[in-house]
Chains A and B, each alone.
Chain A
C-alpha cells in the first residue's frame, strides 16, 4: 500500500534554529516525492520535489531510498517559514498525477 507518514503534528522552534520535518513513505516502486506548503490563508503550493534537487527558500530534502525517507531541512528557520507542510508522493510507473499526502506538520517559528 502507498502511504506517507509525517510523525510530528507540530514542530515548534525558535528563529535561527535548524529545522527538520520528517517524512517516511511506503511504496514498492520508484515514487516521486514532494513537499507542499500552505501558509496561513493561502493555497497549497509546491515547495520542492526530489527530482529537481533544488533548494527553495533555504529548504532542501534528500530522498533516502534505503530508509524510505524524504525529510525536509533548513539550517536556520525564519518566522515566515511558519506554515503547514505536507509531504506527498506520486507513483513512478502508471502515474495519473495522483498525490498521496501525509498528515501534515505545522511548523511554528517563534521570534
Chain B
C-alpha cells in the first residue's frame, strides 16, 4: 500500500499561489513529512520538511493538518521554473517512502 497519495497532475497560472495536497493517513507520531521536486532530466531537489508544526522556508511553506494525516505544500507565487514533479515523502525510521508525485504545469 502506498504510504502517501497525491494527485497525478495540477496546473497553475504564473505568479499565482499553488497548493499541492498529500494524504498520509497511516503516519505515526515520529514520522517526518518531506517534499522534494524533480525538474526534467534532473535528480530530485529538497523543498521542505516538517513533523507537526507548519514550516516556512525561502522556497515554500508546508501546512500540516492537526491530525497529521494530510499536508499541503504551498508555493506562494508559481514561476515557470517551478514546473516539476513534486514528491511527498514519508520518512518512517530509516526509510523514505515516495509518493507517485504531482506533475505541476505552470501556465504563463
Answer whether A and B are interacting partners.
no
Measured CB to CB, the residues of A under 8 A from B are none
Interface, chain B (partner A; CB < 8 A) = none
